[in-house]
Structure 1
Amino acid sequence: MRWANQILVVDSGSEDDTVLISRAKGAEVDITHWRGYGGQRDYALRHPGVRNDWIYFVDADEWVSTDLANEIASVLAQDPQEMAFAQRFRLVFEGVGYGIAAGIPACE
């Protein structure tokens, strides 16, 4: 996530080393209670520490390729007037790609 100028991790009591690793990598960490997937993202959107007009959500088990990071930077450098963007993503499990997924609803 070196391409981002701010990283805010909203953690709801993970039992792994998420908080420790995030802080070691320079992220700001907010530990809060679980609000559900949508509630967590809404909490992050309204977080008083957010310093940017654009927010890109990445879950702990996801990553952003160099190509995507470059494309995001290119689009934002053009000062887009759009309020939101959608993207397709590739599901990968144990190094095996399982096609392209888009519009898959999050389940709670």
Structure 2
Amino acid sequence: MANMNFDFNKINRSFFTVTLTDGKKLLVKMPKKGTFGKLAAVQDMDTDNMTMDDAMDTLGAIVAEALSNNLQGEKITTEYITDQYDVEEMSEFVDNYMAFVNGAKKNPN
């Protein structure tokens, strides 16, 4: 009988490198289920029926949550994101991060 083992700590992981406007670099991990669901939902969000403040707060919260899942352990707040970035920048981050996540799912090696 063969002995086998699997160690979650030895998986080759993929990271998304993000450079913030202040020059700080973050290595963002793959999202957990809850964050992934929010990111997917925000891509389909109908901002036409939202106020600009609501759209900024929603996008800012999701971007902050995604960025806070980083190797450095750096906590990124919604306030920081909405103060530093506009809707276009936040949307661009979400699109690029989701492209990274979807690419890693298709090519797990």
TM-score, normalised relative to structure 2: 0.26
Which structure shows the higher helix fraction? Answer: 2
TM-score, length basis structure 1: 0.27
Higher Cα radius of gyration: 2
